[in-house]
Amino acid sequence: MTLTPTTRKVKGDGIKLAVRQYGPRDAPTVVLVHGYPDNQAIWEPIAEILAARFHVVTYDVRGAGESGRPRRTKAYVMDNLGGDLRAVIDAVSPDRPVHLVGHDWGSVQGWGAITGAGGERQAGRIASFTSISGPCIEHFGQWVRDRLRRPTPRHLAELAGQFARSWYLMFGAVPGLPQLGWRLGGARLFPVIIERMEGIERKPGPTFRQDALYGMKLYRANALRFLRPGELCRTRVPVQVIAPTRDAFVSPHQSKDVGRYVDRCWRRELPVGHWGAVRKDPAVVAAWLGEFVDHIEGEPESAGLQAAQERALCG
């Protein structure tokens, strides 16, 4: 059954954000944040499943979908993204903290919202966080530096695997090149390539090319955060990590030591690609999200969560 969400506009940090809400308003609220170069439509299969029991919220981040598109790159810094998230949370769940879920850059934003100064600003508003295919920038930078300092064969192999996945960062760092690529056929070829790589259907919406072009500003605006020490970015928010083992962009190895930054951590692996985590079998991810939210809301820890916590501690 397809559910029709209600839609609204929320004033974010200087822009208007397009928001959709599913499910009962008196249930715990789950906020799903999309990545790049997507918009909130990527969450529809999972949102519809979760809406049977939860109040589910999605929104187009700045630069994507029907939300505002600031032209200046510095408008996409993490502080502004956190301001947008806080505005959405306060609008859709003013009296209760929410359960945050992010994929790709939505997960990167989520880490920024629960760690360091971002965590201080969002204090008391986020009950839990589930990270899918998107590391904390500072944790990732620390992961790279740690392996360069101790270049064992295993560390070098892990670095090589991640650098091979990070080709798009070098592509995006050349001024004008990504914009040219998206305009000269990239917007048409990208969905075809992902379909062949991951076996999932990608139907780009009418804003796809603009989403891709504006979304590149996320990388440039936040690149220097890779140089900050990871230890500055700890959190007391309970974190669940879902790591796709066939991810062509984010190595599953980099999330194995995330427990050093998190007081309570659970880690699960999923044998799918980067977008397969939210589109290949949405029922599995929705079930894991539901288990996690139920536990944080007071239910006993399931056997699956117990095993996931043990994996996180042993990472």
pLDDT by residue for the chain (315 residues), tens only, comes to: 557 899 999 999 889 999 999 999 999 999 999 999 999 999 999 999 999 999 999 999 999 999 999 999 999 999 999 999 999 999 999 999 999 999 999 999 999 999 988 889 899 999 999 999 999 999 999 999 999 889 899 898 988 888 777 766 666 656 677 778 778 777 888 888 888 888 888 888 899 999 999 999 998 899 889 889 998 899 999 999 999 999 988 989 889 989 999 999 999 999 999 999 999 989 999 999 999 999 999 999 999 999 998 777 655
The number of beta carbons lying within 10 Å of the beta carbon of residue 41 is 18
Q: Quote the pLDDT of residue 187.
A: 81
* 176 in a structural domain: yes
Burial 27-40 (b: 16+ CB within 10 A, else e): bbbbbbbbbbbbbb
Burial 127-159 (b: 16+ CB within 10 A, else e): bbbbbbbbbbbbbbbbbbeebeeeeeeebeebb
Strands 265-270 and 239-244: parallel
* 195 in a structural domain: yes
Q: Quote the pLDDT of residue 138.
A: 94
* 1 in a structural domain: no
CATH of the domain at 301: 3.40.50.1820
* 184 in a structural domain: yes
Q: Which is it for the CA torsion 157, 160, 164, 168, positive or negative?
A: positive
Tell me the sheet residues that pair with 57: 21, 31
Helix-helix angle 208-222:187-198, to 10 degrees: 80
* 15 in a structural domain: yes
* 156 in a structural domain: yes
CA distance 49 to 160: 38
Q: How many domains does the chain have?
A: 1
Alpha-carbon 90 to chain mean position: 20
* 43 in a structural domain: yes
User: Rounded to 5 degrees, what angle do the CA atoms 279, 284, 286 make?
Assistant: 80
Length of the chain: 315
Q: What is the Cβ-side half-sphere exposure of residue 107, based on CA atoms within 13 angstroms?
A: 23
* 17 in a structural domain: yes
What range does the domain containing 258 cover?
6-314
Q: Quote the pLDDT of residue 289.
A: 98
User: Rounded to 5 degrees, what angle do the CA atoms 196, 252, 250 make?
Assistant: 55
User: Rounded to 5 degrees, what angle do the CA atoms 98, 132, 174 make?
Assistant: 115
